[in-house]
Amino acid sequence: MIDINLIRTNKELVKENIRKKFQDEKLPLVDEVEELDKKNRALKQEADSLRASRNSLSEKIGKLMREKKIEEANTIKETVKKNNERIAEIEKEESVLDKKIKKIMMTIPNIIDDSVPIGKDDSENVEVERFGEPKVPNFEIPYHADILKRFNGLDKESAGRTSGNGFYYLMGDPARLVSAMINYARDYMIEKGFIYCIPPFMIRSDVVNGVMSFAEMDAMMYKIEGEDLFLIGTSEHSMIGKFKNQIINEKELPITMTSYSPCFRKEVGAHGIEERGIYRVHQFEKQEMIVLCKPEESMEWYNKMWSYTVEIFRNMNIPVRTLECCSGDLADLKVKSCDVEAWSPRQKKYFEVGSCSTLGDAQARRLGIRAKGEKGNYYVHTLNNTVLASTRALIALLENNLQEDGSVLVPEVLQKYMGGKTKIVPVDKK
């Protein structure tokens, strides 16, 4: 949520930002909220004036009563009564206007960074840099579900009976590989100085509304029936929510945290759920990272964060690239975002395995997260980044470490989490 002062002082900037995001249908909202804000401020000014008058008249009434000027005092009391009635009316109007203004402000997109490429959708995202040489071996790379089948590692049929489409059982060495990757990613982030956290896996609606847009919530979140609770789609939401309505001593910044959690997603939309594999599913595990920092430090942290994900994947022998998200592909709260994509030798193209974003003070403003500095309180900047998402990371690892004999090499950084195994072999070759 942007600062309403920006609309008061530079509404054309806000409108131009909306145009850059190809959301022209939101342009009238800027003028609407400007008028509502003017009306609201006028009411507040009237109420303040009436309160000041009431205080002055109350003193006068006291003086008249002491002087036994009862009739004159009673006349002034009537004026005070009318003032109080008007103040009560104004407070009701203010409450209605505050809600209307907040609702509109929460739908006006955040101001994107000047460096963000302008484009309508993800087809216009821009490749920034490649890390590692993308290779295609001289033997066929099967579909990942078929690779997993060789290890008796994936059972979607049983999961369909227990839970429905979009769920799965991971078993044996592939399941162990997932745990190894998560454990490695956790330890990597701890070595980088991040505090390890296992957060709540359910959050209340006021936290959900603070960390994401309404459209994102509807498409992603599962609601617990009969309770004000949602299953998290990513742990950054509960980690950022940890600081809701808090004033943080500036000396404690930056706050850097990494968390493990299961993630639950509806996956509503054009992509849908993957029938055979585990690329797009309702449930997976993830290691995540967040940063709360001073505004002037956010871009430095943004570049550090995505580089950590790149290094983790490169250490697992997986070529990756970074892709700058264009304006039309940015969620409304984001200032700047990039995807980390892993190379698929089977598809001979890259696919998304993580996303890094800086949101400026938008989340902090919605959740009331401030820092106390020498010059007063201010909203912190928040950032988040996928360290490693289990299912997509597993696909990338299997494809890039598959050998012609059907075995999969275990990257050196994972071997200690795999009991020293240097490779896993299909069940029919054990």
pLDDT at 341: 98
The beta strands (E) that lie in 95-207 are given as 126-131, 154-155, 169-170, 195-197, 202-203
Q: How far apart are CA 36 and CA 46, in angstroms?
A: 15
Q: How far apart are CA 247 and CA 371, in angstroms?
A: 5
Q: Report pTM.
A: 0.89
Band of residue 430 on the pLDDT scale cut at 50, 70, 90: low
> Tens digit of pLDDT for each residue in 312-347?
999 999 999 999 999 999 999 999 999 999 999 999
Q: Which fold does the domain 4-105 belong to in CATH?
A: Helix Hairpins (1.10.287)
Domain edges within the chain:
4-105, 122-429
Q: How far apart are CA 85 and CA 91, in angstroms?
A: 10
Band of residue 69 on the pLDDT scale cut at 50, 70, 90: confident
Tell me the average pLDDT across 199-203. 96
pLDDT at 71: 80
CATH number of 122-429, picked from 3.40.640.10, 3.30.930.10, 3.40.30.10, 2.30.250.10 = 3.30.930.10
pLDDT at 81: 87
Per the listing, tokens 């103040």 go with: 87
pLDDT at 271: 61
pLDDT at 174: 97
Tell me the average pLDDT across 187-198. 98
Q: Which two tokens stand for residue 263?
A: 């993630």
Q: Which of 346, 350, 294, 297 is nearest to 319 (CA)?
A: 350
Q: Which two tokens stand for residue 216?
A: 């994102």
Long-range pairs for 129-133 at CB < 8 Å and ≥24 separation? 129/321, 129/322, 130/319, 130/320, 130/321, 131/310, 131/313, 131/314, 131/319, 131/320, 131/321, 131/322, 132/314, 132/318, 132/319, 132/320, 132/343, 133/319
pLDDT higher than threshold 70 for residue 214: no
- Tell me the pLDDT of the chain averaged across its residues: 93
> Tens digit of pLDDT for each residue in 219-278?
788 999 999 999 999 999 999 999 999 999 999 999 999 999 999 998 765 566 667 899
Q: Are 288 and 258 in contact (CB under 8 A)?
A: yes
Q: How far apart are CA 64 and CA 169, in angstroms?
A: 83
pLDDT higher than threshold 80 for residue 216: no
Q: Which two tokens stand for residue 146?
A: 């078929």
pLDDT higher than threshold 90 for residue 58: no
Question: Parallel, antiparallel, or unpaired: how do β-strands 255-264 and 195-197 relate?
Answer: parallel
